[in-house]
Amino acid sequence: MNMDNGASSYRRFLAGDDEGLVELIGDYKDGLILYLNSFTGNICLAEELMEETFVKLVTKRPGFGHRCTFKTWLYTIGRNVATDYLRRCSRFKELSPENLEQLADDEESLEQSYLRTEERIILHRALHRLKPEYSQVLYLLYFEDFDNSQTAVIMKKSKRQIENLAYRAKKSLRQELEKEDFVYEE
């Protein structure tokens, strides 16, 4: 996926080519779901919020200003959708044990297909044990390859705050991985 791929697909969609939207969803849905899951802790809800993010593109057709990459812009919209949802709803819903088991199975299935390697799965699980802000910054920087400036835009923080947050998050992640006797590289 080249840097402009999302922007050109979105331009084509806005011009009436529905295939542009199909490409966007194919390219970005899995990563967006895992990012949104860092807010919700519920993979099914994260999938719904991903869908809502794309529905927003279809219905509102917001203009993409090229001040950042398309992916940064899309993840920012996703973050806003998740934040709005969490403001509207209580975080804690009553779930039956069967539903909890199914949610865990769904999440594990998506993690397995997206992350592929054993090390990345261990890392991903360790990220879940961190403070949400720590897992979000590390996910954006290392799993989605955003730079500090792009991450700052998505998380609505200054670049300096992201640098400090990333430093503390890496330190915390290292401690989590050491508990697992995981061998990590800098």
Percent of the chain with pLDDT over 70: 75
pLDDT at 167: 95
93 and 130 assigned to the same domain:
no
Q: What is the mean pLDDT of residues 2-29?
A: 88
Q: Beta-carbon neighbour count of residue 64 at 10 Å?
A: 17
18 and 78 assigned to the same domain:
yes
2 and 89 assigned to the same domain:
yes
135 and 93 assigned to the same domain:
no
Comparing CA positions, the residue from 186, 145, 154, 143 lying closest to residue 167 is 186
Number of domains in the chain: 2
Lowest mean pLDDT among 2-11, 46-55, 91-100, 123-132: 91-100
pLDDT in tens, 23-52: 999 999 999 999 998 888 888 999 999 999
85 and 125 assigned to the same domain:
no
Q: What is the mean pLDDT of residues 104-115?
A: 55
pLDDT in tens, 44-70: 999 999 999 999 998 888 888 777 889
Spatial distance between the Cα atoms of 115 and 182, rounded to a whole number of angstroms: 17
End position of a domain, from candidates 46, 63, 98: 98
Cβ distance 93 to 78 under 8 Å? no
8 and 90 assigned to the same domain:
yes
Percent of the chain with pLDDT over 90: 44
Owning domain of residue 76: 1-98
pLDDT at 33: 93
Supply the CATH number for residue 89's domain: 1.10.1740.10
Supply the CATH number for residue 175's domain: 1.10.10.10
Contacts of 135 (CB under 8 A, 6+ apart): 38, 127, 128, 169
Spatial distance between the Cα atoms of 97 and 104, rounded to a whole number of angstroms: 11
Q: What is the mean pLDDT of residues 7-34?
A: 93
Helices (H), ranges, 41-147: 43-60, 70-88, 97-115, 118-128, 132-138
Q: What is the mean pLDDT of residues 108-127?
A: 60
Lowest mean pLDDT among 22-26, 97-101, 178-182: 97-101
Average pLDDT over the chain reads 81
**Residue 183: which pLDDT band, with cuts at 50, 70 and 90?**
low
